Structure 1
Amino acid sequence: MDKILSTLAENLANKEPREQIKSLLLELISLKKQDNSLIGNWHPLGFVHANLGRIDGIGTIRLHIWLQNKRKTQIPSFPIHDHVFTVNSHILSGTVTNRIYHIERDSINPTHKLYSVKYDNNKSLLESLNQKVNCHFISEENFTIGQYYSVRSSVFHTTEVNENHFASTLVLTNNHINGEPKVVGGLFQNDIYIYERSLCEPVELLEMISLLEHKLKINV
């Protein structure tokens, strides 16, 4: 399995064609089903997140799944965020919209405030940085099956999928930097929030994976 995982990571890093990615992923999923090592959690932004493995010198591979008409988004939802690593996403199924924002300090006419994010097991602690900011929308781009897109560390963005649609991405994270990720919150929201990344029940996760496998095979 380690060899497949390493090859898959290299393929993602090199933005290889969909057929190569698909073949390796299907093989990896099959092996993980056999040893019951597929574990998924509901991300606070509503999608299912499964860590497939880490490869030294390359990065970590994650599987993200947005179910059709079923999201478990925690409230309040703060979708605009950055990362302390580069996100390299490959669209496995459906269509994903990536929106980019510019954040600048503004104590006179602020629109939002910044929170830092700390992790404790399956919990995320959002704590206000007492920084008032202005949040400007910059651009958006849609990505569909077989395409790649990247978001560098410290770039604020959102990843969105139509509520009525199914989508999935395979994500390679690398080039980590020091620091904590940040999210953009409402100006008058509380100063502290705790979110829990609840476990996706194994039976439900396997149903999602089976649906993804089907969509990969028929290219939708």
Structure 2
Amino acid sequence: MGTYVLIASAADRDPQVATLVVGDQPVDFNLVLAGSSKLTGVVRDLEGKPVPGAVAVLTDVRGEVVTTGTTDAEGTYGFSGVRPGGYTLAVSADSYRPAAVPVEVVGTGQTRQDVELRPGARLRGTVRVRHGGPLTDARVTLLDAAGNVVGTTTTGDDGAYAFADLTGGQYTLIATGYPPVADTVTVNGRDEDDRDLWLAHTE
């Protein structure tokens, strides 16, 4: 005799909890375990190849993280026990632009959402002194087509600079250290672009 808590759980099912009062007679009590929802999919690049090691983050409508995971060797991710509702799935991986897609998980069973990642373009080059070698400690600023600062860096001993994870489009490079010089460059958004800059002394 007494009061007991009954907990039932099973794979791919939502757990259920019930309180039972047991007397001196046998008690028949049934629990129904509803199937939980699962969200799964494959992360691929533009050529359709799987992207292993990509980080997938699922957030709810309030922006709070519900669960996270990493794609396997086949580019597949999977989240179990996801309640029905609207979510945002954000995926990121090295050398790719991050992507975020809305997901609607409905009822029980499995919801599939594949994600395509675009490669992050990279712009690099060397700042050189005209009629001389690479320029150390030159400040390089990258502006987008609207004039917003995308990034700023300083060249090393080899005069090299680099900006990664860029989208395609037109940019402006500004290098200072001597009198500043500006140059316009168009990034194709799919691979790596090189652009050297030349600075000169003023007389």
Return the TM-score normalized by structure 2. Answer: 0.23
Return the TM-score normalized by structure 1. Answer: 0.22
Q: Which has the higher contact order (CA 8 A, sep 6+)?
A: 1
Q: Where is the helix percentage greater, Structure 1 or Structure 2?
A: 1
Q: Where is the strand percentage greater, Structure 1 or Structure 2?
A: 2
Structure with bigger gyration radius: 2
